[in-house]
Amino acid sequence: MPHDVPWFLGTLVIIFAAAKLLGALAQRLGQPAVLGELLAGVFLGTSVLGVVDSQEHVLHLLSEVGVILLLFEIGLETDLQALLKLGGPAAAVACAGVVLPFALGYGVCELLGLGQRAAIVAGAALTATSVGITARVLSDLGRLQDPESQVILGAAVLDDILGLIILALVEAMEAGEPVTVLGILKVAALAFGFIIAALVVGRFAIPPIFRRLGKKPGTITMAAVMLAFGLAWLANAAGSALIIGAFAGGLLLAFTDVVHEAKRGVAHLGYFFVPLFFVVVGAAVDVRVLNPFNPANHSTLVVGGLLIVAAVVGKFLAGYAPFWFKGKKSVIGVGMIPRGEVGLIFAQKGLSTKVLDTGQYCALTLMVMVTTFLAPPLLRWLLPPHPQSRQQREGIDELVSEA
Amino acid sequence: MPHDVPWFLGTLVIIFAAAKLLGALAQRLGQPAVLGELLAGVFLGTSVLGVVDSQEHVLHLLSEVGVILLLFEIGLETDLQALLKLGGPAAAVACAGVVLPFALGYGVCELLGLGQRAAIVAGAALTATSVGITARVLSDLGRLQDPESQVILGAAVLDDILGLIILALVEAMEAGEPVTVLGILKVAALAFGFIIAALVVGRFAIPPIFRRLGKKPGTITMAAVMLAFGLAWLANAAGSALIIGAFAGGLLLAFTDVVHEAKRGVAHLGYFFVPLFFVVVGAAVDVRVLNPFNPANHSTLVVGGLLIVAAVVGKFLAGYAPFWFKGKKSVIGVGMIPRGEVGLIFAQKGLSTKVLDTGQYCALTLMVMVTTFLAPPLLRWLLPPHPQSRQQREGIDELVSEA
**CB pair distance less than 8 Å for B230 and A13:** yes
CA distance A59 to B109: 44
* Other Cβ atoms closer than 10 A to A383: 21
B237 interfaces chain A, CB cutoff of 8 Å: yes
Of A371, A369, A357, nearest in space to A296 by CA: A357
**CB pair distance less than 8 Å for B242 and A268:** no
pTM assigned to the model:
0.85
ipTM over 0.95: no
Residue of B nearest to A7 (CA): B233
Compute the residue count for chain B: 403
| pLDDT for B63 | 92
Q: How confident is the model at residue A388 (pLDDT cuts 50, 70, 90)?
A: low
| pLDDT for A22 | 95
Listing DSSP states for A326-388 in one string gives -S-HHHHHHHT--B-HHHHHHHHHHHHTTSS-HHHHHHHHHHHHHHHHHHHHHHHHHSPPPTT
Chain A contact set for B18 (CB, 8 A): none
Rounded to the nearest angstrom, the minimum Cα separation between B270 and chain A is 9
| pLDDT for A182 | 84
Chain B contact set for A232 (CB, 8 A): 6, 9
pLDDT-above-70 percentage for chain A: 95
Chain A contact set for B221 (CB, 8 A): 268, 271-272
Q: What residues contact residue B290 under an 8 Å CB cut-off, 6+ apart? A: B297, B301, B366
- CB A210 within 8 Å of CB A253: yes
Q: Which amino acid is at B385?
A: P
Instruction: Chunk chain B into consecutive blocks of 10 residues (it has 403) and report each block's average pLDDT, rounded to whole numbers.
Output: 83 97 89 86 89 88 92 86 88 93 93 88 89 84 89 88 79 75 82 87 92 88 96 89 88 91 94 93 81 85 93 94 91 89 76 81 85 88 70 44 41
**CB pair distance less than 8 Å for A397 and B217:** yes
- CB B160 within 8 Å of CB B244: yes
Q: Is A104 exposed, middle or buried (0-12, 13-18, 19+ CB in 10 A)?
A: buried
Chain B contact set for A58 (CB, 8 A): 57-58, 61
Q: Which of residues 128-147 of B touch A (CB under 8 A)?
A: none
Chain A contact set for B3 (CB, 8 A): 57
- CB B80 within 8 Å of CB B199: yes
Res A357 pLDDT > 50: yes
CA distance B207 to B223: 12
Chain B contact set for A216 (CB, 8 A): 391, 397, 401
Res A52 pLDDT > 70: yes
What region, left, alpha or beta, does residue A321 occupy, with left being phi > 0 and alpha being psi -120 to 50 degrees?
Answer: alpha
> Rounded mean pLDDT of A135-141?
86
| pLDDT for A387 | 67
> Rounded mean pLDDT of A269-294?
88
Of A365, A350, A357, A341, nearest in space to A174 by CA: A350
Count of helix runs (H) and strand runs (E) in chain B: 17, 0
What b/e sequence results for B262-278 when a residue is b if at least 16 CB atoms lie within 10 Å of its CB, and e otherwise?
Answer: bbbbbbbbbbbbbbbbb
> Rounded mean pLDDT of A95-107?
94
Res A226 pLDDT > 90: yes
| pLDDT for A96 | 94
| pLDDT for B387 | 67
Read off the DSSP letter of residue A290.
Answer: G
> Rounded mean pLDDT of A292-319?
91
Chains A and B form CB pairs within 8 A to the count of 130
Res A318 pLDDT > 50: yes
Of B285 and A94, which is predicted with more confidence?
A94
CA distance A367 to A374: 10
Q: Which of residues 27-56 of A touch B (CB under 8 A)?
A: none
Q: What residues contact residue A255 under an 8 Å CB cut-off, 6+ apart? A: A80, A203, A206, A207
Q: Please list the alpha-helical segments (H only) found in B141-294.
A: 147-174, 181-211, 217-237, 242-253, 259-283
**CB pair distance less than 8 Å for B265 and A268:** yes
Average pLDDT, chain A: 86
Residue from A60, A62, A268, A389 whose CB has the most chain B CBs within 10 Å, to mutate: A268
The per-residue pLDDT for range B31-84, each reduced to its tens digit, is 788 888 989 998 999 888 988 887 889 999 999 999 899 989 988 888 888 888
| pLDDT for B388 | 59
Rounded to the nearest angstrom, the minimum Cα separation between A58 and chain B is 6
Of A204 and A361, which is predicted with more confidence?
A204
Rounded to the nearest angstrom, the minimum Cα separation between A169 and chain B is 22
B214 interfaces chain A, CB cutoff of 8 Å: no
A137-to-A226, A228, A320, B240 alpha-carbon distances in Å: 26, 21, 21, 42
Q: Which amino acid is at B131?
A: V
Q: What residues contact residue B334 under an 8 Å CB cut-off, 6+ apart? A: B315, B316, B319, B375, B378, B379, B382
Alpha carbon B53 to chain centroid distance?
20
**CB pair distance less than 8 Å for B269 and A268:** yes
